[in-house]
């Protein structure tokens, strides 16, 4: 049996549901295939802080008011550094800083899946495991799907792999992939009873990191990413003790002993970075299927939303108007690379576990001492500007000036104070 669609999307999580809604809004007939059979399935391995960069897409999808209603927590993240806290705030008389959103995946994923299912033109099919690609003349023309032991074929003008970091579609397509080691562990747990009005906080202990993110339903996610070399055997041998000791030792630590832990401590000892070429003939990859970068930076969910938007911007017109999608796919590849390459390269480099380089020390120390520099850092961490803009000659100069004033005021000329 073969069904025909304009677009077949594999994976009904963030990237898949966002792509499905955006394609269908242009008039495309979309099959959205998900291997889990429950409407309420959600991704457990995620600390779900969403960066401000993805807010415009969430607005377009109509998701923001639903998230607000569900109690999602707007955030402007504060950052601990050895130079002090970076606490970004807007300049006097200016608009508030763009904020991100913290919302548990158990809230977000079902909400987004329902939104997709209710969008005219989207055919959400749960319990469908995609295990093969159809091909004609070197071009992907559809997928093979198994559900309840029965195999079906779905054909489409465009197949979209939104099936996460271990993407089956990516593997079957043979698109080039680059893997690199991440030399940090990642563990987290949910707590109830920590201050709900606290800002989202990140500790840059250089090289280890930790996080506390207030979320919906009074939950705060507390997380840590210690380096593997020093911490693997302790975390492997005594996860609970190692996790809690690590958190208690943080400067201005979240008071986990006065709160109730309401989840297991979950995480992973190994999470390599994965970068795939995001398109091929008749085929595109979005979200983690294209790029699963170090979770330390909390960017994957946002980029899953944004890559869906870039794809639909590039090929949506061709799909809806029955034109050739190939030129648009190359445009998508360019947009993806232009937006994410420099961010990912820096993240990949930092995931090898190195101390901050001289530029990072300069920019971060200035951000802890000066509101303008703090806003500049915040724009970068929010993924609203790229690496070149973050470390532009002008920004470095301004940071050097901030630090020079700081040294003058504090009577110290020690170089290691940057
Ligand atoms: C420890 C950890 C912490 C993280 N914390 C953050 C954070 O704080 N902020 C942030 O922005 N990002 C974070 N991330 C990253 C974030 O979780 C991912 O970037 C995001 O989930 C990517 O969304 P996606 O839709 O691309 O893929 P996924 O959410 O992984 O969804 C893939 C979907 O495809 C389905 N699927 C897979 N294979 C098939 C198949 N063969 N057939 C049919 N369906 C299939 C799956 O069931 C799933 O529903 C974290 C990641 C980790 C590991």
User: Ligand 1 centroid vs 368 CA: distance in angstroms?
Assistant: 33
Whether 76 is covered by a domain: the verdict is: no
**Which ligand 1 atom is nearest residue 50's CA?**
11
Whether 83 is covered by a domain: the verdict is: no
Whether 53 is covered by a domain: the verdict is: no
Per DSSP bridges, beta strands 177-180 and 273-276 are: antiparallel
Least Cα distance to 32 among 49, 46, 51, 16 occurs for: 16
Q: In this structure, what token pair is assigned to residue 188?
A: 């987290």
What percent of the chain shows pLDDT beyond 70?
98
User: Ligand 1 centroid vs 134 CA: distance in angstroms?
Assistant: 24
> What separation in angstroms does the CA of 242 have from each of 81, 187, 226, 380?
22, 10, 10, 32
Whether 39 is covered by a domain: the verdict is: yes
pLDDT score for 415 = 46
* Average pLDDT of the segment spanning 345-364: 96
Whether residues 17 and 140 share a domain: the answer is yes
Whether residues 369 and 340 share a domain: the answer is no
Instruction: Please list the alpha-helical segments (H only) found in 185-238.
Output: 228-237
**Residues with a CB atom less than 6 Å from ligand 1:** 10-16, 33-36, 43, 45-50, 128-130, 162-164, 168, 186, 267, 271, 287-289, 295, 298-302, 304
Of 416 and 373, the structure prediction assigns the larger pLDDT to 373
Q: What is the pLDDT of residues 172-194, one digit of tens each?
A: 999 999 999 999 999 999 999 99
User: Ligand 1 centroid vs 266 CA: distance in angstroms?
Assistant: 15
Last residue of a domain, one of 268, 285, 315: 268
Whether 72 is covered by a domain: the verdict is: no
Residue among 300, 304, 305 whose CB has most ligand 1 atoms within 8 A, to mutate:
300
Residue 372 pLDDT exceeds 70:
yes
The half-sphere exposure of 342 on its side-chain side, counting CA atoms within 13 A, is: 13
Whether residues 27 and 165 share a domain: the answer is yes
Contacts of 334 (CB under 8 A, 6+ apart): none
- A 10 A CB-CB count for 96 gives 9
User: Ligand 1 centroid vs 369 CA: distance in angstroms?
Assistant: 36
Contacts of 206 (CB under 8 A, 6+ apart): 81, 82, 355, 356
- A 10 A CB-CB count for 408 gives 10
Whether residues 39 and 136 share a domain: the answer is yes
pLDDT score for 411 = 76
Give the closest residue (by CA) to ligand 1 atom 9: 298
Rounded mean pLDDT of the chain? Answer: 96
User: Ligand 1 centroid vs 288 CA: distance in angstroms?
Assistant: 6
Residue 413 pLDDT exceeds 80:
no
Q: Per this entry, what is the length of the chain?
A: 418
Q: Is the peptide bond before 187 cis (omega within 30 degrees of 0)?
A: no
Whether residues 138 and 34 share a domain: the answer is yes
What percent of the chain shows pLDDT beyond 90?
96
CATH of the domain at 232: 3.30.70
Whether residues 246 and 286 share a domain: the answer is no
pLDDT score for 412 = 58
Whether 89 is covered by a domain: the verdict is: no
Whether residues 325 and 372 share a domain: the answer is no
> 417: pLDDT confidence band, cut at 50, 70 and 90?
low
**Which ligand 1 atom is nearest residue 128's CA?**
43
**Which ligand 1 atom is nearest residue 129's CA?**
42
Last residue of a domain, one of 284, 313, 344: 344
Q: What is the pLDDT of residues 69-91, one digit of tens each?
A: 999 999 999 999 999 999 999 99
Whether residues 248 and 388 share a domain: the answer is no
* Average pLDDT of the segment spanning 377-403: 97
Task: Assess contact for 305 and 51: CB atoms under 8 A.
Answer: no
Q: What is the pLDDT of residues 246-288, one digit of tens each?
A: 999 999 999 999 999 999 999 999 999 999 999 999 999 999 9
Q: In this structure, what token pair is assigned to residue 307?
A: 């890559």
Q: Is the peptide bond before 134 cis (omega within 30 degrees of 0)?
A: no
Sign of CA dihedral 120, 122, 124, 125: positive
Give the closest residue (by CA) to ligand 1 atom 38: 163
Last residue of a domain, one of 220, 250, 268: 268
CA 346 to chain centre: 15
Whether residues 261 and 310 share a domain: the answer is no
User: Ligand 1 centroid vs 50 CA: distance in angstroms?
Assistant: 13
Residue among 10, 11, 188 whose CB has most ligand 1 atoms within 8 A, to mutate:
11
Residue among 13, 108, 187, 189 whose CB has most ligand 1 atoms within 8 A, to mutate:
13
pLDDT score for 47 = 98
User: Ligand 1 centroid vs 302 CA: distance in angstroms?
Assistant: 11
Q: What is the pLDDT of residues 206-246, one digit of tens each?
A: 999 999 999 999 999 999 999 999 999 999 999 999 999 99
User: Ligand 1 centroid vs 12 CA: distance in angstroms?
Assistant: 10
Whether 138 is covered by a domain: the verdict is: yes
Q: CA 243, CA 226: separation in Å to the nearest integer? A: 10
Residue 103 pLDDT exceeds 80:
yes
Residue 159 pLDDT exceeds 50:
yes
Q: CA 372, CA 115: separation in Å to the nearest integer? A: 39
Whether residues 283 and 337 share a domain: the answer is yes
User: Ligand 1 centroid vs 115 CA: distance in angstroms?
Assistant: 18
Give the closest residue (by CA) to ligand 1 atom 17: 46
Q: Which helix (H) or strand (E) holds 74?
A: strand 73-75
Q: CA 246, CA 104: separation in Å to the nearest integer? A: 23
Q: Which domain holds residue 217?
A: 186-268
Domains identified in the chain, total number? 3
Whether 81 is covered by a domain: the verdict is: no
Whether residues 112 and 128 share a domain: the answer is yes
CATH of the domain at 112: 3.50.50.60
Whether residues 165 and 305 share a domain: the answer is yes
């Amino acid at each position: 049996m073969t069904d025909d669609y304009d677009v077949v999307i594999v994976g009904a999580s963030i990237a898949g549901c966002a792509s499905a809604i955006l394609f269908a809004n242009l008039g495309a007939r979309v099959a959205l295939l998900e291997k889990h059979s429950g409407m309420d399935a959600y991704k457990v391995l995620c600390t779900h802080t969403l960066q401000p960069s993805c807010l415009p897409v969430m607005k377009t999808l109509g998701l923001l008011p639903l998230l607000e209603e569900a109690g999602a927590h707007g955030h402007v993240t504060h950052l601990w550094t050895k130079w002090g806290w970076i606490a970004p705030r807007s300049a006097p008389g200016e608009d508030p800083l763009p904020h991100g959103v913290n919302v548990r995946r158990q809230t977000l994923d079902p909400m987004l899946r329902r939104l997709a299912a209710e969008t005219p033109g989207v055919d959400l099919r749960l319990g469908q495991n995609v295990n093969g690609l159809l091909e004609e003349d070197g071009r992907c023309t559809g997928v093979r799907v198994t559900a309840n032991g029965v195999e079906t074929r779905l054909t489409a003008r465009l197949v979209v792999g939104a099936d996460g970091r271990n993407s089956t579609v990516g593997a079957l397509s043979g698109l080039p992939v680059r893997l690199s080691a991440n030399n940090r562990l990642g563990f987290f747990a949910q707590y109830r009873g920590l201050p709900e009005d606290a800002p989202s906080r990140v500790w840059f202990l250089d090289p280890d990191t930790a996080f506390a993110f207030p979320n919906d339903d009074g939950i705060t996610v507390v997380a840590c990413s210690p380096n593997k070399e020093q911490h693997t055997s302790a975390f492997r041998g005594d996860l609970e003790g190692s996790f809690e000791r690590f958190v208690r030792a943080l400067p201005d630590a979240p008071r986990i002993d006065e709160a109730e832990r309401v989840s297991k401590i979950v995480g992973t000892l190994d999470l390599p970075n994965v970068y795939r070429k995001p398109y091929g003939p008749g085929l595109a990859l979005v979200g983690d299927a294209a790029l699963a970068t170090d979770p330390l930076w909390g960017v994957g969910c946002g980029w899953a939303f944004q890559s869906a938007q870039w794809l639909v911007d590039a090929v949506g017109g061709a799909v809806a108007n029955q034109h050739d999608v190939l030129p648009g796919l190359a445009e998508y590849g360019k947009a993806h690379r232009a937006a994410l390459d420099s961010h990912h390269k820096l993240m990949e480099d930092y995931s090898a576990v190195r101390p901050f380089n001289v530029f990072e020390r300069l920019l971060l120390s200035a951000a802890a001492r000066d509101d303008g520099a703090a806003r500049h850092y915040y724009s970068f961490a929010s993924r609203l500007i790229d690496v070149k803009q973050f470390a532009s000659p002008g920004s470095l100069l301004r940071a050097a000036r901030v630090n020079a004033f700081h040294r003058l005021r504090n009577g110290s000329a020690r170089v290691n104070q940057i």
